[in-house]
Amino acid sequence: MSSFDLQKSGITVKRILRNAAPPVLVEEALSREAGSVLTGTGALVAYSGKKTGRSPNDKRIVDEPGSAADIWWGAVNIKMTRESFLTNRQTAIDYLNTRDTLYCVDAYAGWDPMYRIKVRVICARAYHALFMHNMLIRPTDAELATFGEPEYTIINAGQFPANKNVPGVTSDASVALDFELRQMVILGTEYAGEMKKGVFTIMNYLMPKQGVMSMHCSATDAQDGSGASILFGLSGTGKTTLSADPKRLLIGDDEHCWSDHGVFNIEGGCYAKAVNLTEEAEPDIFRAIKFGSVLENVIMPEGTRTPDYTNISITENTRASYPIEAIPNAKIPCVGGQPKNVIMLTCDAFGVLPPVSKLTPAQAMYHFISGYTAKVAGTEMGVTEPKETFSPCFGGPFMVWHPAKYAELLAEKMSAQSADCWLVNTGWSGGKYGTGKRMKLSITRAIVDAIHSGELARQPTVEHPVFGLAMPTSCPGVPSDILNPRSTWAEGAAYDDMARRLARLFADNFKRFEDGCSEAVRTAGPRL
C-alpha cells in the first residue's frame, strides 16, 4: 500500500506494509520490537508493556445524534465529545507519522457475507498487525484487490500516552469509538485485546439494528450438521473447555452472531488463555501455538525456546492468538445451522444451583441479563469466601444497547427455532466452596452430551423451590442423587439459608435492569 492510499486519514509515512504475510510480520517484530523472540514451534513471543489487560474504565463512545438514543449510557458506555475524539485522533496520527514503518490490515469481521463488515487496522507494531491478521477473517487475494474503503477503521497508537487534559480522558490510556465517523482510536495501551474487543463492540452495536443477535459465547455444530449449540459463560465457567468437544465441530470460541440463517463466528481466530497451559489438558490449543501465532506476555526462560506457561510474573492474563484453522475440528467457513440448544454456564461457588436445569423463555432472559458466576477464595486479594459476579449478557463490558435488547433478541431466536435453554452449574455441590466439592468435568460433559443427544429434554423434572428452575430427575451418565442440590448438603436447613442468600444477591443485582424489562422477565427470578 502506498502512503497516498491513507492520505485522507492524514498518514504520511512512506513505508506501509498492507496485509503483510506472517513471515514478514514476524521478521519485522524480531528486528524492531524489544523482547520479541520465537519459541521452538515458531510462535512469536511479544510483550504489551505496562497494560497487560483491557482498560474498561478508559473506554469512551462519542455522544452523537445518530447513535445516542441507542446506547446504554453509564459505567460501561461512557460519553465523549466529538471534539475530544478528534483531538485524540490527531494525537494518534501525529504519533504514527513519526514512525518509519506502519502496518495496515484490511480484513473482515463476520463469516456470513450478508453481515460481514470491512475493517482496517493501522498500527505501528508488527505484533499488533499479526494479532489482527489472526483475529480478523483474512480476505482472499481477489477480495483484497477489490476491498476498497473500510467500513470501520482502528487507529492504534497505543505506544503514545493519552493526554489527561483532554475532556473525557482520565488516564494515560484512551480507547475511543465514534459510530458516525466509524473510527476507533487507541492511545496509551499496547494490549492487543483492545482491538479485538473494539471490533466486537462495533458488531454489538450494528447487528441488533439488523435483527441479528450478537453474543459473547462459544459455538459448536453437530458433525452431521443437525444442530448448533451456543455456550455462554464468564471466565472460569468452562466455556472454552466444553466447546473443545471432539464429538462436535468448533464454530468459534468467543464471539458469534445468530441470524435468520444460523450462527456465524465474528472472528477468524482464537485468543486463548495460556496460563498453566499443558498439552495433556488442552491438546488442541497447545498444538495450535506454532509459526504465525502470537504468545502475549508469556515468559520464555533465557537459553530455551520453551514457554513457561506457569510463570505469571508479568501477568496472569497470558494469551495465545492463532488462526482458527489451527484447531483440527474447526468448521471452515465458521458458520453453523440454527441452534437447537442454548447453554448458560455458571460456576456457583455457593453450591446452590443444580448441576443442570431447563429454563423457560422468561427465565432464559432473566439469567442471560444477570450473567451470574462466582469467584472463590484465593482468586483475588481480599476474597475470603465465595463472591458473586454478575456481567450482563455474559459480556457486560462489550454491550452497547441495554441488556434487555440482547435478551429480547435471544428470546425471539429461541422461540423461532424452538430451541431449549439450559443453565449448567460447573461449580460446587454438597456445600459452598471450602465445604463441598467442585463438579467433576466428566459429569458436566455427560450433561452436555445428554443435552446434545436430546435425552435430557425427555427426562422428568421437579421445580426448585426458590429459583423456580426445572431440575431433571435423571440424566444419562450422571448420578441421580446430585441432580437436586439440596439433597447433596449435610444439612437441608443450611442449604435453604444459602439459597435464600443467593436469591437476594440475584434480586439486588437485577434492580438496575428492571426498567428495561417486561413483567414476565422481572418475575422470572428467584422467589424471595
What residues act catalytically?
Answer: 54, 197, 216, 235, 239-240, 254, 319
- How many CB atoms are closer than 10 A to CB 350? 24
Q: Is residue 261 part of a domain?
A: no
CATH number of the structural domain spanning residue 314? 2.170.8.10
> What confidence score (pLDDT) does residue 516 get?
81
To which residue does cell 492487543 refer? 192
Distances (CA, A) of 396 to 76, 201, 393: 7, 10, 6
Look at residue 264 and tell me if it is in a domain.
no
CATH code of 191's domain:
3.40.449.10
Residues 479 and 370 in one domain: yes
Whether residue 194 sits in one domain with residue 66: yes
366 within a domain of the structure (yes/no): yes
The answer to whether residue 161 is domain-embedded is yes
**Both 428 and 288 in a single domain?**
no
Which of 163, 193, 209 is a domain's end point? 209
CATH number, position 366: 3.90.228.20
For residue 381, pLDDT over 80 is answered with no
CA dist 265 and 158 (Å) reads: 27
pLDDT of 486 over the 50 cut: yes
Mapping DSSP onto H, E and C, the string for 21-59 reads CHHHHHHHHHHHCCCCEECCCCCEEECCCCCCCCCHHHE
Residues 506 and 368 in one domain: yes
Co-location of 163 and 85 in the same domain: yes
pLDDT of residue 386: 74
- The number of distinct structural domains making up the chain is 3
pLDDT value at 99 more than 90 = yes
All 3 cell numbers of residue 451?
A: 443435552
Percentage, residues of the chain above pLDDT 90? 90
Q: Is residue 185 part of a domain?
A: yes
Domain extent, residue 123, equals 3-33+55-209
Q: Give me the pLDDT at residue 3, please.
A: 41
Residue 224 falls within a domain, yes or no? no
The answer to whether residues 399 and 511 belong to one domain is: yes
Q: Is the dihedral of CA 499, 500, 501, 503 positive or negative?
A: positive
Q: Last residue of a domain, which of 209, 224, 259?
A: 209
pLDDT tier at 378, thresholds 50, 70, 90: very low
Claim to verify: residue 396 and residue 450 sit in the same structural domain:
yes
CB 216 within 8 A of CB 232: yes
Same domain, 361 and 418: yes
Asked if residue 12 is part of any domain, the answer here is yes
Whether residues 381 and 468 share a domain: the answer is yes
Same domain, 388 and 300: no
Looking at residue 384, the DSSP 8-state letter turns out to be -
Band (5; pLDDT cuts 50, 70, 90):
low
- Model pTM above 0.85: yes
Considering the domain architecture, whether residues 501 and 400 belong to the same structural domain is answered as yes
Are 111 and 153 in a shared domain?
yes
